[in-house]
Amino acid sequence: MAKKIKKFRPKARLPKGFRDIGPVELRQTQAMLKKIGAVYEAYGFEPIETPAFEYTDALGKFLPDTDRPNEGVFSLQDEDDQWMSLRYDMTAPLARHVAENYQDIAKPYRRYTWGPVWRNEKPGPGRFRQFMQFDADTVGTANIAADTEICMLAADTMEALGFSTSEYKIHVNNRKLLDGALEKAGIDPADDGNLGLRQTIFRSLDKYDKFGLPGVEELLGPGRADESGDYTKGAQLNSEQIKIFLDFLGSAKDSRVSTLDQLSELLGDTKAGEEGLAELREMDALLRSAGFDETRIQFSPFIVRGLDYYTGPVFEAELTFEARNDDGELVRFGSVGGGGRYDDLVARFTGQRVPATGFSLGVSRLQAALTHLGRKDGDEVLAPVVVLVMDREEQPHYQRMVQDLRAAGIRAEMYLGTSGMKAQMKYADKRGAPCVVIQGGDERAVGEVQIKDLAEGLRLSKDIEDSDTWRESRPAQFSVPEAELVSAVQGVLDRIRNET
RNA sequence: GCCGCCUUAGCUCAGUUGGUUAGAGCGCUAGAUUGUGGAUCUAGAGGUCCCUGGUUCGAGACCAGGAGGUGGUACCA
């Protein structure tokens, strides 16, 4: 018997599309959340938190005949067999919250929220199955001023995060203009019968930034063959219809007013188009008066946004610069946030139309962009000072030193391992400790401690080649009376802070 | 989902027309140095050559299927 019993050992591995986040990034995320939140607070939004799970039907995923909810969401069945799903954005949970508490909420209701969202999709570069969104919404007013404020908020947030005006752009379009273009092309935007066609057209227009006008033209027409993979079926429009949409895309001008003039010429005689234009004219006036010109907020007919629940203005925040990744490949960050007016979302629950508008920022993507630009957040935390344990039986004494340092607001720790001094030095080095505190028998006998500045020591080591000198000269190391431990360490830290 | 590419040490990779004992750099551990992180030198540990089957006297290499990764495309509420 008792041969080798095979013990099951799970392989330590992350689920695909998920990732662990280390201390540096985590601290940066926290700093970003704080900055974004400050802008939102200044605009008068209030924080709220909703849970990660919602009932699947509340998320707007209808269960078809299959026994599992749509792909794209992570779902599981509750003990009473009800399907629950991890939220895939912050908007649907908000709509649920508003519908559930409709009586008690003062309208217009303005709130912001942030947290992880999950999407069960194929991960790609910079695309994960869990990522963080920061959201602001105004619920309960159809006033276009609410949409305008959301755009202003988005622009101000980008700048608060450290992007300059030339590095981002807030694009604004209006679904009503798209409806006007449909109308012009003889496609009834209100007819459910051509919903599929409308979606195909919208998707084609949305590819403008990816494939350009010729690509969109193919997609609106017969279809587009791509080099690798399959053939994308087109919308099968005729050339007159296609021309309408291409003209529509081409009406983007540098100034908001000229864009509106151009669009007016194209769609002014359609009902939906005229409505959309009127809304954008109002936005332009509000923006102009608030000091937001077209270098920050632009009217861009090519912005579509995939969601069919949008009913009016739609927005997108774009990063306009390019960067290179570690392999030297060109990286475009592109869209880092989006939103729009969704007047029918709450009505799904209550039957009562509740106008709403909102915006989501992709925090993780913004963070990746900031990192690429080398804009780490300034308040980098220093690693702890390490107090070496030269004699195990003196640990209580070392522990007190550590506690004195902590009481002075200095991150500090006693070496908790059981290895010798050399290993302890290596530990402190790897840890990135600014300095170590050394007290062996010699120092203790005269009531002193040695403080070694590790960064300075490394610098001095450049000129030392043989190890005897390196060890014996004890570079960047000095002795102080034990009573002056805290102030001496503080002095070293102050010097390091001033250098960086 | 569809198409292409890739998979050899912890990491980055080399490995000839199929040939016997599979390598390098970096990293890691130890020593030179029993109280000093660096540099240098020396030694060492570390491998299911992704898996399964096939071809062959012989497969890390060739063939088929599968898995995983990756790039593009589709979808993205």
A86-101: pLDDT as tens digits: 999 999 999 999 999 9
Q: At what angle do helices A271-290 and A144-160 cross, to 10 degrees?
A: 50
Give residue A139's Cα distance to chain centre.
Answer: 23
* Å separating the CA of residue A431 from the C1' of nucleotide B64: 51
* pLDDT value, residue A14: 79
**C-beta separation of A367 from A32 below 8 A:** yes
Smallest CA-to-CA distance from A98 within A360, A361, A345, A358 is with A345
Point out the nucleotide closest to A199 (alpha carbon to C1′). Answer: B75
Domain A385-499: CATH superfamily is Anticodon-binding domain (3.40.50.800)
* Å separating the CA of residue A5 from the C1' of nucleotide B57: 38
* Å separating the CA of residue A28 from the C1' of nucleotide B35: 39
Tokens of A298: 């632009």
Q: At what angle do helices A256-267 and A239-249 cross, to 10 degrees?
A: 160
Residue A146's SS3 state is: helix
* Å separating the CA of residue A363 from the C1' of nucleotide B18: 53
Residue A380's SS3 state is: coil
Tokens of A28: 């940066």
Point out the nucleotide closest to A435 (alpha carbon to C1′). Answer: B37
* Å separating the CA of residue A397 from the C1' of nucleotide B40: 38
Q: At what angle do helices A175-184 and A239-249 cross, to 10 degrees?
A: 150
Tokens of A457: 């020591």
The mean pLDDT value of chain A amounts to: 89
Return the H-helix or E-strand segment holding A277.
Answer: helix A271-290
Residue-wise burial string across A456-490, b where 16 or more C-beta atoms lie within 10 A, e elsewhere: bbeeeeeeeeeeeeeeeeebbbeebebeebbebbb
Which residues contact residue A79 at a Cβ distance below 8 angstroms, ignoring those fewer than 6 apart? none
Which positions in strand B are less than 7 Å from the protein's CB atoms? 1-4, 29-30, 32-40, 68-77
Q: Does the pLDDT at position A3 exceed 50?
A: no
* pLDDT value, residue A5: 41
Residue nearest to nucleotide B35 (CA to C1'): A421
pLDDT band at A192 (very low <50, low <70, confident <90, very high): confident
Q: What is the mean pLDDT of residues A112-123?
A: 91
Q: Does the pLDDT at position A66 exceed 60?
A: no
Point out the nucleotide closest to A445 (alpha carbon to C1′). Answer: B35
Dump the DSSP string for A12-34: --PPTT-----HHHHHHHHHHHH
β pairing state of A385-387 and A412-414: parallel
Domain ranges of chain A: 385-499
* pLDDT value, residue A229: 58
* pLDDT value, residue A397: 96
Tokens of A336: 């880092």
pLDDT by residue (tens digit) across A348-399?
899 989 999 999 999 988 988 888 887 877 567 889 999 999 999 999 999 9
Smallest CA-to-CA distance from A366 within A28, A4, A23, A103 is with A28
pLDDT band at A158 (very low <50, low <70, confident <90, very high): very high
* pLDDT value, residue A17: 85
